[in-house]
Structure formats: C-alpha cells, structure tokens
Structure 1
Amino acid sequence: MIKMTKKKDLSRSLEDYAYQCVTRRLLRRVEGFLDGKPGFVILIAQPGVNPADYYPAIAADLFGDDYPERSNCGVMVIKTGEKQPAILGKFDADCRLRHRIVVIASDRECIPSEIRFSADTIIDVPPVSPRDLKAACKTVLEIDITAAQAKEALKAPWHLLLRTLRPGRPIDDVLSRLKNIPVVSETHAPKSRAANSMKLEEMHGYGPAKEWGLQLADDLGDWRDGRISWDDVDKGLLLSGPPGIGKSVFARALALQCGVKLIVTSLGQWQAKGHLGDLLSAMRTDFARAKNMAPCIMLIDEMDSFGDRSTFTDRNKDYSTQVVNALLECLDSLDGREGVVVVAATNNPNDIDPAVLRAGRIDRHIALELPDGDTRLAIIKQISGIAISDDEAPRIKQMTIGSSGADLAKMCREARRLARRDKRPVDENDLIIGLPKLMRVEGEFRRHVAIHEAGHTLVGWRLDAGEFLGTTVFDWINPAVGNQRVGMAIFRLPGTGARMRQHHLDRIACLLGGIAAEELVLGEFSDGAGGDDASDLGIATTLATALEAQLGLGERLRYSAVSDADDWERLRRVDVKLAARVDKVLREQFERAKEILSDERRLHSAIVEVLCNDGKLGPEGLAELEVSQMDHDPIKAA
C-alpha cells in the first residue's frame, strides 16, 4: 500500500516556489504520478541552472511533511563531472527500490545509460514562466504584479532578478533597476571577440539584410513602447548564402542592435537530445524559452536539414514529417510567438519545405552575396585594424576575390601571427605575404579580354538591352580562384514594365556579344563564356529555355514548373524538340550579334583600345567614342 502525503507549498524562498510551479506542472504530465502512482521521471535542468536548485521544489511535492527515509519516494541530483560508479551507487542506495523516483540531471550526457534507459520519461525543464513568477511574488513576497510586468522582469538574468525582488519593494522599482543590467547574448556557437562586440550598424557587407535588421530594431523598439502592434513587425527571415559568409555573425550583431537576447539552435542540437520524443521536447522547450525572453532573436542554423516533406522517401518518412510538422506548430503558436523573431540560416534554400516559408512564419528571404572589393577592405580593417594604403588597395581587392568574411578573418589571423613572431605591430605587408600571388592581365591576353567585353558593350548599347553602367577589364586575376571574371560589361535591367519576346532576344544577343566579337576579330572564340550557370552562355541558355518552355513566348504556349538549373537541364534532355528550339534561338542571336559588330567594326576597335589602355569605359566615354567614329564615317555622319 502506498502512503499518501499532503503536498507542501514552499513559501520561504521565491526561487523554490517558482521552481515548484515549474516542476509540478511537468510532473502532472505523468499520469497519476503526483497522486502516488509508481513511476520514474528524469528531469533535465535548464542550461546554466544547478540541478540541485530544483530539489526542494520536487521534494516538497513528493515527500510533503513526511521524511524521505519513511516515504516510498526517491529524489536524486546528477551533476556534470560526477563519476559514473558513484552515481550508480547513490542511485542504488537512494532510489532504485522506491516506487516513485525523480532524477534531476545537468544534461543527458552525464546520466549513466543504466539509469537513462530504465526511466519512464525524460523531460527538459523549461524556464520559469511569467505565470510562475507572478504566483511566487504573490505567495512569497506578497507583491501583486501583472503578467506583463512578470514577462518584462524575466528578461533579466535569473540570479539578478532574485536579488532585486524583495518584500515590499514595488515592482516598478524592480523593473527600473533591471533596465540598467547589460544585455548578454545566449548562444551555443563559438564566440568571436569582434563579432560579439559589434552591432549590426557597425558591420560591413550585408546589404539588404542589414537594412532589414536596422528596420527591425526600430520596429521592436516601437513595439516595446506600444506604438505599433506585433502584427506590424517582421517575424521571420531566411538568410541564405555560401558557407562562411557570416549568417551566424549577422544574427549576433542583429541581437545587439535590437538590444535583445539571442538563442542559437539547430535541428542537430535538438536531435542530440535523444529519440524523437526528446527531439520534439527540446524544440518546444527552446521556443518556450524564447517566448519567456521576448523580445528576443532565435537563430535556427542549417534550416535545410529539416528537409521538404514532398521529397521524403519511405525510409524515415514518418519521423521526418513529424519533425517538420512540429516546427510548423512552433512557428505558428497560438499567440503568434509574440516578441520572438526567428532568423533561419541555410546554404541550400531550395531544400526547405515551402510551408516553413509561408506568410506569418519565415516569410522573407534574403540571399547574402560574397563581399565586393570595397567591403572586403572594410572588413579587413575592422577585424585587424590594418590601414591599407591607396597603392595596395587595388591589388588586395583582386587578391581577395571570392573570399568570404570567414576567409578574410583567417587571413587577418595569419597576418597577426606573422607580426607576433617578429614582435612588432601588424601591417599590410603581413596581410599580403599570406595572400595568393596574382597574375597580371596584359599583352595578348588583355587584348583578348578587351575584344570580348567590347562585344558585350557594343551589342547591348545598340540593342538598348538595359541602362549601360560601364565596362571594366581587370588588371590582375587570382589564379587560385576558379571561373574568375577577368572583365565585365554592366547593364541595369528595367525593374518593371511589359517585356515582349524581343526584349529577351536582345538580352540573349547581348550575352553572346562577347564570343561573337571573338569569332569576328580572331576567327574563333574561347571557352570563357561558359563554365557554369552564371556564365554568359549559361544565362543565355536559361533565358532561351524560359522563352520556349515557361514564359509562353516561344513556338508553344506552355508553362513548365522549374526551380533551378538542374530542372532546366533535365527539361531539355527529356524534350528533344525543346532542346532544338533553344539551340535555334541561341544560334540566331549569335549571328545577330555578329552582324551588329560587323557593321560597327570601327567603333568596336575603338572600344577595345580604350579598354586595353585604361581598363574601363563609362557611358559618357562610350557616347563620345560613338560621336568621334561617326565624324570619321561620312555615310553615318550624313
């Protein structure tokens, strides 16, 4: 027979009472456990909380006014670092033969497998909620506070909050004191001194993402002050980009800019908790923790690891579907996760379930790009403090083409290491020593590049394929970087307006103008126009395929749903007639570009000379060249 004891409410300690509210709610999930039914529960303490802090609360509910040795209950604490034989010995002595057992552990890893596998359930302890704090203040301190005041108070570190709340002290006074406590970011990610100390407004290279983040900081401030509702605040952002581009650094800088806390997590961290039930519990606990800290930023790294439900195979399909569904529930939540902004990071945005990106969840997507030359110099100066001279700046820009923020940080570390070895301040020479050697673009190679870029320039200018912004031939290239641009002709496309078939054909002709010029002047063209999806030939092929298979501007009125280059290629391979029509469009526009250049040989040659000598040509310079060539051509002048 099980002896029933009266549950005891703790009233001497605010901390104990608050923890009793939390743990009692958890133990009620186990059917009949608090009423005397046998069971074995393991509780995993909040990160940073001593598991022994929960002991008085749990003991009060299990033992009541009875003594532990006379009851049929066992409560045990396991801390990180304890030896497993000692843990097992203590468990056998205090708990193993008891009807009701509660083990409180620092984390799952410190629990011996013999204990972990014999438990009925393992539950992650959530943080103290505003409702828990409100009840504890009322009972222990005899202070009445509102739910909103409790929520505001819980933004402060727990240990400081406990010391600030005192009997008879008005809650407004408590909140006023807590506002002076500096914000501390919470993150599982490795900490970088520079990244952790800078706000977003101080960062370089984030473009539209930085603009979004600064606006979010303003909106969160207005929301906290009651000037706007939560419905007017962006609730989610998907950041995509290559590895090392700084997605996690962005989230830390954003949290500092907004003056809020940061929670960093991922599916991998949740999976490390154990089986499916543990994973889902860890996920929900993190979202609950974020809501208790609101306003806060929650970074979910490697978002594509959740997968797309439409691509799941029979193997593990049920498991993966439940994980995605649980994520959607957490992103929705009944209160709209008020105060929690979710930033998701990924290298592969196409692998994310579309439902995750639905309006109201993570509905804004910004693709981060590798930093341009000026931004790379600014990042180097920010990380290392090295002032780069005007003489060396162009070379360092070229030497760092294709480098991410992480690559630049590594270069700066290497430069500082060289300076430390010689016991002197770091300078730009230390940086240059560690960079790859450049190859100068000169001689016949430079002329070849100028012919190619002049072809793009002249064809695009004649067809009005966009607003001409300028053409450049680089002085240096980095041999270590594959598929590197040696020059470029830039045309800005119109943002709006009706685009007929001819508009797209003009773009294709402009893209093929480079190799058309090479064949016209040199008798053949090189492989520089191909190589990847972003090359001249790659973009032209995609445009021609879209005309015929998606935009309804080809021989057939047909729409094909495609999302990436692989889909386009698969479509051409499956439909042989489509591939033939695409080839026909490309060949016709190639010949058209050659015809334009043939009629404009004199102007093309003049553009080539300017690019060879000066390395660049702007809109005004091209217009002047055109006028000067017309003066030398009596027919065109007339």
Structure 2
Amino acid sequence: MSDILELFDNETSIQRSSKQKRVPWKISLPEDGTFITLPVFMAFCGIAAALRSWNRPAAKFKVILSLSEDACLSVYSSAARVFLRAIEDCKDGTRPLVCTWGGRHSDRDQYEALRVDRAIFIREPNKDLDDGARLFADRVVDVPMRSRRHVQAALRRFGMPVVEKDVELLLSEPWARLDNAFQEGRSPTLSLQRLRRYPLSWTQKDVPAVKAVGPTLADMHGYGPIVAWGNDLARDLGDYKSGRIQWEDVDDGVLISGPTGTGKTTFVRALANTCGVPLTIGSFSTWQSAGALDEFLKAMRKSFEEAKSKAPSILFIDEVDTFGNRIGRDHNKAYMTAAIAGLLELLDGFYHREGVVVVAACNHPDNLDPAIRRAGRLGRHYTIALPDAQTRLSILGFHSGIDLDRSQSEKFGMATEGLSGADIEQMVREAKRAARRRFEALSGNHVVDQLRPLVELPEDYLRTLAVHEAGHALVAIEAGHGRVIGIKISRYRIEGKRNELGYVEYGQAGVRPKTRTDYLNAIAVCLGGIAAELEVFGSFADGSAGSETADLNRATELATMLEGALGMGHTLLVEGPLEQLERLRAYNPDFRRRVHDVLQSEFGRARSIISASRAGLDEIVEHLMETKAMTGDEAIEIVQRHKMPRVSLAKLPRRGMEA
C-alpha cells in the first residue's frame, strides 16, 4: 500500500508511472459513471490495501471484503467498482460486479460472479459469515479502518492542504455524513465547510452506553417474535446513533399486550438494556394523579419531554388501554376524548419526538382507540402469552440462579402450569426467605417446597395414561395425520385440580386445503386413545369426555362439521353453522345417526390400526413408563420396526421352478 500512497503525492509521477491504470486519478470514470468523491477515495485506499496481492491487470478473484467499522455501503461499493475498473482496463462499458454479501439477491449475485473473472462482495460488520461464504470466495479479507494516511492521501489527491483539524474531522465523521457532504459537482473545500457548519447534533453523537442492570433480551425465553423485533431495534438504534440511517428508518412505536404478570414491564427493561438506551416510564394512572385535565396533559407531555432529553431512549407507557376509545357516551367522554387527542398529538402530529421509541403495554388491546393503533403510531402489535414449561424454568433460573434436577423440574413444570413470570418471581422470593430462615444456601428443595401440593400418581394410573397417549400417536403415524413431535405423560397432578396429565404434540404437515380424508383422519386420531385402552384393558376411562377439548367431544364436533357445515357428508347440502348443528344433532334423529356413523366408522379404523400394531404400541408404552417422554422420531422408528412384512403373491416362485 505504501508504494500506491507515495504515488498520490505527485500528479506527474502518477501519470508517468507504470501503475497508472491501477491508480484512479481522474475525477470520474466515464466508462462506469462512478464519480470519485473524497470519501470514495478514502474507502478505495482501504480496499487497495486489503487487495494488494490482486492489484494487477491479469488477476482473477472472487473475494468478500469484511468491513471492520460501521460504514456507508454506497461509499464502499463505489470504491470497490473504482478498484475493479482501474485494474480491469475494460472499455466495453460493462459495470464491475460489486455486491453486498447476504443481500436480498444473494443467490443471483453469486451466480453472476461465476460468469466473470473478478467480483467483490462487501460484508457489513453485523452480518455473520458461514462456511458457505468461505467455500464460495477465494478469500475473506478484512478491510482496514480508515487511517490518517488514507485521509492525507485523499486531501492531496484533491489538491487540498493537509491541515490537522481537517484530518481529525474526516477521521471522526460518520461515513453517511461524509457521503452526504461530498457530492458530485460540489467542491471538496465547500464540503468541508458544510461539515463544520452543521456539526454532529445530539441525535447523532455517540451516547455513552447505559450500564445494563437486570435482564437483557437474551434472558427473555419464550417471548416469541417480539424478541426478534427488539434485537432489530437495537441494531437500528446503533445505526441511527452512528449516522448510518435516519430516524424515519427506525420502528419507533409498538404495542404489547398480555395477561397481568406475563412480564411486559420486564421485557421493556430488557429491551432498554439490550439497546443501551435510557428508559422513561409513564402510565395513565400516574398522569391522571397529577390533577385535572390540564395537569394530566402537562404530566403526559413532561414524560415525552423527559424521554426526548435522553434520546435516543425508550418511553414505556403502561396501562395504555385505560385511555379507552372515543366511541362510548358517558359523563367522562369529554375528558377521555381530550386525553386521547393529547396522546395522539404526542405520538405524531406537530409534536416532534425524534430519538424516542414508544413502547405501550396493556391487558385488553381491543379496548384501545383505533387511532392510537394506526400505522405510524402504535401500529405494530405483539402478544405476550403465559410462559410454557421450558420458559418457566428459564424464568426460575434467571431469578434464582439455580438449576433443578430432573425430578424437581418435572414437579415444577406441573405445579406452575398457568402461572406468570411474576408468580414465579414471587415464588423465588419466598424460597429465598425460607432458605435464610434455615441458614441454608438456596437450592431446588426450597423452590419445590413453595409449589402447590402435588399428588404422585400410582403405577396403574400412569400405565393407563401411557396407553392412551401412545394410541393417539400410533394412529396419527399410521394415518399420516400431521407430524408427531413428541409424547409426554406426568407422574404428578395438582391436588384438587383437573389438569392435563399427558399429551401428544403435533406439527403442521404442510399448508394446504383440507379434504374429507383429512377430517376423517383427525377424528380417528381423536379416538385413538380410547381404542388403545380398549385393546389393552378391555374398557376405557372417563377422561376422554366432558370438556370441550376432550377426545370424544372434539371427535363429535369434527364429525358434526363434516356432515352439516362443510358439504363433505352424504350430501353437498350445508345444514348451518356449528351452533345450530348442535341443536340439529339433538333433535334430528337422521342427522344424529349420520354423525354417529362417521364416529363409529373411524373408531373401527382406529381399533384396526391399534390391533395390527400392538407390538409397536406396547414398546411405546414401556418407553413412556420409563422416561415419561419421547420424541416423535423415536415413536416413528418403533412403529416402522414392528411393521409386519408384506409378501407380494405376484412374486411367489412357481412350484415347477423350485430347484
């Protein structure tokens, strides 16, 4: 690189140099149309240093340039085209192949690269490289950060004096601002003057990272898509602070909803910690406590102003559904209408909130005024549900710092079903208090002691559960209904509560319209549990009926829909919606008989499947009795292994040919 930089010091030496074709001295390259600005030339210096070994006319290469600092892609793409144009010496007007690695058209770009001798892909700092990238490219090369020598060379190239304050300015400015300032047709001197005239504003200066106190998004297990949104927001805020994007490109408003205690406030704190920005908290009740309507509006505006003073920052509005909507007619309508109007004004309108991300939380999103949920305000909406078993264990680990053993985990998962993250946090506080009282270190036993009382199920009860769930799985596998993901039974139940003691988890087989066969298979799977109990015990227990989600109730509902609501029964005639069909089933003997025939037919099919695969059923049951859980793949392997071999009569040797 040093030999190239030395050429920049003297125009005459460059013109006489044998490397003239490889050093872009002209202001523009007419063959390509790429205008060489000062920041483009600075980026070119870094690329030339990284690709020094290929800086020759006959070189053939496909490289990935890995940027080591946040940069403007357009600047580095232009610089890469300048580099290729300088060494290719092409005169046919073709555009050098420069692409972004991992972009929207990545496959097409890689295909195009295979058809040319030289190609450059640019990888942004936040993009990961997998093995496929290293296999495709001849080399992955790190581009050095802009240096003082690069800036000095660029100033000399444009005939400008090398002044230390200008060098420092060009080293410290974000690439996006440099690209905006140095434009085609604008002199470099004027561009420098504009940079000094419009210095970095408070919205673009690097804000010291806020020290994370509490969880981050990495700790938010089981929160679903909202975590991915939060991570994207963290990257966007980083790009905004560095000047790479404008505030208009930041997703600055979101609504989150869910039952009380699901961790909405905890999520917002984790979001602020991950983004490294301050958090301001407000709510309808705290603003209302300020006094009359005028005081309410002042308090609300003060929260927005506080968040803006810390920008970039997050403003969390709790209980936002308390605002209600402007449709109702009661004595508070004027007050609430004014409150909603004030909030809408602060969310957008004439009130400028650049740098402030508004995250609002509520329990009942349907009660919220539609104008608040409009795109551009709180148009994006995520729901946080009660945590599942694995998420509850993760919440426990975060608050307690301990891991439960297998038996304790099983008890915890069963006893905490339906509890929120706040409930589990309270449970941990009580466990810590109990440990302190006993002068003991916190352990899993202290947590288990705080659980709701559990009753251990006897062996014969467990076997009935295992047979029932194995029957569901077996019929699903043989009928090809969905994809069996896992089977599980529990050895405990909560005292005084009728909770789910076993289940089969299914996955989608594919998105397509459902046919009559699909509905019949679903009915057979619903009846597979009692079919297995009849096969093994000669009778079935009462757990298969009663609730809306019970096996027989669900099978009856599906058969009713098939015969009366979908036109897939004995006639194309649609009898009516499901609510009417239930009455029709009760008072129309002919319709009731047709539903019964469907159930009876599929029950017979389920029993035939169970009987033919009895050996597989027994092995699945024994596996469940031992481990209490198994994967769908394990069940499928057992079923396939126990299939009876089938011999084709067409292939039997004739007696006369045996010898």
TM-score tier by shorter-chain length is: 0.5 to 0.7
What is the deviation of 1:206?
2.6
In the alignment, the residues of structure 1 paired with residue 519 and residue 375 of structure 2 have an alpha-carbon distance, to the nearest angstrom, of 32
In the alignment, the residues of structure 2 paired with residue 298 and residue 628 of structure 1 have an alpha-carbon distance, to the nearest angstrom, of 59
What is the deviation of 1:345?
1.9
Residue 315 to residue 438, structure 1, CA distance change in 2 (3 Å): same
Kindly indicate whether residue 424 of structure 2 is the aligned counterpart of residue 408 of structure 1.
Answer: yes
Counterpart of 2:257, as a letter, is S
SS in 2 for 1:197: coil
Q: Which of 528, 537, 542 lines up with 1:526 in the alignment?
A: 542
Residue 329 to residue 175, structure 1, CA distance change in 2 (3 Å): closer
Q: Which of 437, 445, 449 lines up with 2:453 in the alignment?
A: 437
Q: What residue is the counterpart of 1:342 in the other structure?
A: 358
Q: Which of 482, 489, 497 lines up with 2:504 in the alignment?
A: 489
Q: Which of 255, 259, 263 lines up with 2:276 in the alignment?
A: 259
In the alignment, the residues of structure 2 paired with residue 559 and residue 318 of structure 1 have an alpha-carbon distance, to the nearest angstrom, of 45
What is the deviation of 1:423?
2.9
Q: What residue is the counterpart of 2:635 in the other structure?
A: 622
Is the CA contact (8 Å cut-off) linking 2:559 and 2:595 kept in structure 1? yes
In the alignment, the residues of structure 1 paired with residue 260 and residue 552 of structure 2 have an alpha-carbon distance, to the nearest angstrom, of 26
SS in 2 for 1:600: helix
Q: What residue is the counterpart of 2:483 in the other structure?
A: 467
Q: Which of 253, 258, 261 lines up with 1:244 in the alignment?
A: 261
What is the deviation of 1:558?
11
In the alignment, the residues of structure 1 paired with residue 280 and residue 555 of structure 2 have an alpha-carbon distance, to the nearest angstrom, of 44
What is the deviation of 1:385?
2.7
Q: What whole-Å deviation, never above 9, does each CA across 1:152-176 have from its counterpart, x for those lacking one?
A: xxxxxxxxxxxxxxxxxx9989979
In the alignment, the residues of structure 2 paired with residue 331 and residue 579 of structure 1 have an alpha-carbon distance, to the nearest angstrom, of 54
SS in 2 for 1:496: coil
Kindly indicate whether residue 525 of structure 2 is the aligned counterpart of residue 510 of structure 1.
Answer: yes
What is the deviation of 1:247?
0.8
How do 1:256-405 and structure 2 match up within 5 A? 256-309=273-326, 312-314=328-330, 316-334=332-350, 337-390=353-406, 392-405=408-421
Q: What residue is the counterpart of 2:41 in the other structure?
A: none
Q: Which moved more, 1:367-376 or 1:484-493?
A: 367-376
Q: What residue is the counterpart of 2:605 in the other structure?
A: 596
Kindly indicate whether residue 473 of structure 2 is the aligned counterpart of residue 422 of structure 1.
Answer: no
Counterpart of 1:332, as a letter, is D
What is the deviation of 1:578?
9.8
In the alignment, the residues of structure 2 paired with residue 268 and residue 174 of structure 1 have an alpha-carbon distance, to the nearest angstrom, of 35
Is the CA contact (8 Å cut-off) linking 1:508 and 1:586 kept in structure 2? no
Q: What whole-Å deviation, never above 9, does each CA across 1:482-525 have from its counterpart, x for those lacking one?
A: 45221111111146344446545544553454456557765455
Kindly indicate whether residue 589 of structure 2 is the aligned counterpart of residue 572 of structure 1.
Answer: no
Is the CA contact (8 Å cut-off) linking 1:458 and 1:597 kept in structure 2? no
In the alignment, the residues of structure 2 paired with residue 353 and residue 557 of structure 1 have an alpha-carbon distance, to the nearest angstrom, of 38
Q: What residue is the counterpart of 2:156 in the other structure?
A: none
Residue 450 to residue 425, structure 1, CA distance change in 2 (3 Å): closer
Is the CA contact (8 Å cut-off) linking 1:477 and 1:484 kept in structure 2? yes
Q: What whole-Å deviation, never above 9, does each CA across 1:577-599 have from its counterpart, x for those lacking one?
A: 69989989975664354122211
Q: What residue is the counterpart of 1:224 in the other structure?
A: 241
What is the deviation of 1:314?
4.8
What is the deviation of 1:238?
2.6
How do 1:170-189 and structure 2 match up within 5 A? 183=210
Residue 423 to residue 472, structure 1, CA distance change in 2 (3 Å): closer
Q: What whole-Å deviation, never above 9, does each CA across 1:132-171 have from its counterpart, x for those lacking one?
A: xxxxxxxxxxxxxxxxxxxxxxxxxxxxxxxxxxxxxx99
Residue 608 to residue 182, structure 1, CA distance change in 2 (3 Å): closer
User: What are structure 2's unaligned runs of at least 5 residues?
Assistant: 1-196, 652-659
What is the deviation of 1:449?
1.9
Counterpart of 1:371, as a letter, is P
Q: Which moved more, 1:547-556 or 1:204-213?
A: 547-556
Residue 518 to residue 248, structure 1, CA distance change in 2 (3 Å): same
Counterpart of 1:330, as a letter, is L
Residue 426 to residue 625, structure 1, CA distance change in 2 (3 Å): closer
Is the CA contact (8 Å cut-off) linking 1:516 and 1:525 kept in structure 2? no
In the alignment, the residues of structure 2 paired with residue 549 and residue 201 of structure 1 have an alpha-carbon distance, to the nearest angstrom, of 49
Counterpart of 1:440, as a letter, is E
In the alignment, the residues of structure 2 paired with residue 296 and residue 363 of structure 1 have an alpha-carbon distance, to the nearest angstrom, of 19
Counterpart of 2:479, as a letter, is L
Residue 354 to residue 575, structure 1, CA distance change in 2 (3 Å): farther
Q: Which moved more, 1:467-476 or 1:301-310?
A: 301-310
Is the CA contact (8 Å cut-off) linking 1:473 and 1:611 kept in structure 2? yes
SS in 1 for 2:643: helix
Q: What whole-Å deviation, never above 9, does each CA across 1:405-440 have from its counterpart, x for those lacking one?
A: 222222221222122223343222222222233222
SS in 1 for 2:272: helix
Q: Which moved more, 1:551-560 or 1:606-615?
A: 551-560
Q: Which moved more, 1:259-268 or 1:535-544?
A: 535-544
In the alignment, the residues of structure 2 paired with residue 175 and residue 322 of structure 1 have an alpha-carbon distance, to the nearest angstrom, of 32
Q: What whole-Å deviation, never above 9, does each CA across 1:199-231 have from its counterpart, x for those lacking one?
A: 222444433322221221111111222223334
Residue 329 to residue 435, structure 1, CA distance change in 2 (3 Å): same
What is the deviation of 1:253?
1.3
Counterpart of 1:388, as a letter, is L
Is the CA contact (8 Å cut-off) linking 1:514 and 1:529 kept in structure 2? no
Q: Which of 474, 479, 503 lines up with 1:458 in the alignment?
A: 474
Is the CA contact (8 Å cut-off) linking 1:572 and 1:579 kept in structure 2? no
CA RMSD of aligned residues (A): 4.4
In the alignment, the residues of structure 2 paired with residue 548 and residue 345 of structure 1 have an alpha-carbon distance, to the nearest angstrom, of 44
Is the CA contact (8 Å cut-off) linking 1:573 and 1:579 kept in structure 2? no
Counterpart of 2:579, as a letter, is R
Kindly indicate whether residue 214 of structure 2 is the aligned counterpart of residue 197 of structure 1.
Answer: yes
SS in 1 for 2:316: strand
In the alignment, the residues of structure 2 paired with residue 314 and residue 542 of structure 1 have an alpha-carbon distance, to the nearest angstrom, of 42
Provide the aligned length of Structure 1 versus Structure 2: 445
SS in 2 for 1:465: coil
How do 1:207-218 and structure 2 match up within 5 A? 207-218=224-235
Q: Which moved more, 1:250-259 or 1:361-370?
A: 361-370
In the alignment, the residues of structure 1 paired with residue 202 and residue 630 of structure 2 have an alpha-carbon distance, to the nearest angstrom, of 62
Q: What whole-Å deviation, never above 9, does each CA across 1:94-137 have from its counterpart, x for those lacking one?
A: xxxxxxxxxxxxxxxxxxxxxxxxxxxxxxxxxxxxxxxxxxxx
Is the CA contact (8 Å cut-off) linking 2:543 and 2:550 kept in structure 1? no
Q: What whole-Å deviation, never above 9, does each CA across 1:54-94 have from its counterpart, x for those lacking one?
A: xxxxxxxxxxxxxxxxxxxxxxxxxxxxxxxxxxxxxxxxx
How do 1:84-95 and structure 2 match up within 5 A? none
In the alignment, the residues of structure 1 paired with residue 265 and residue 247 of structure 2 have an alpha-carbon distance, to the nearest angstrom, of 25
Is the CA contact (8 Å cut-off) linking 1:304 and 1:352 kept in structure 2? yes
Residue 556 to residue 281, structure 1, CA distance change in 2 (3 Å): farther
In the alignment, the residues of structure 2 paired with residue 354 and residue 558 of structure 1 have an alpha-carbon distance, to the nearest angstrom, of 37
Residue 549 to residue 620, structure 1, CA distance change in 2 (3 Å): same
Is the CA contact (8 Å cut-off) linking 2:277 and 2:314 kept in structure 1? yes
Q: What whole-Å deviation, never above 9, does each CA across 1:169-209 have from its counterpart, x for those lacking one?
A: x9989979x9676648xxxxxxxxxx943322244443332
User: What are structure 1's unaligned runs of at least 5 residues?
Assistant: 1-169, 185-194, 561-570
Q: TM-score, normalised by structure 1?
A: 0.58
What is the deviation of 1:255?
0.9
Residue 419 to residue 495, structure 1, CA distance change in 2 (3 Å): same
Is the CA contact (8 Å cut-off) linking 1:459 and 1:596 kept in structure 2? no
Residue 466 to residue 358, structure 1, CA distance change in 2 (3 Å): farther
SS in 1 for 2:442: coil
Is the CA contact (8 Å cut-off) linking 1:216 and 1:233 kept in structure 2? yes
How do 1:54-69 and structure 2 match up within 5 A? none
Is the CA contact (8 Å cut-off) linking 2:373 and 2:379 kept in structure 1? yes
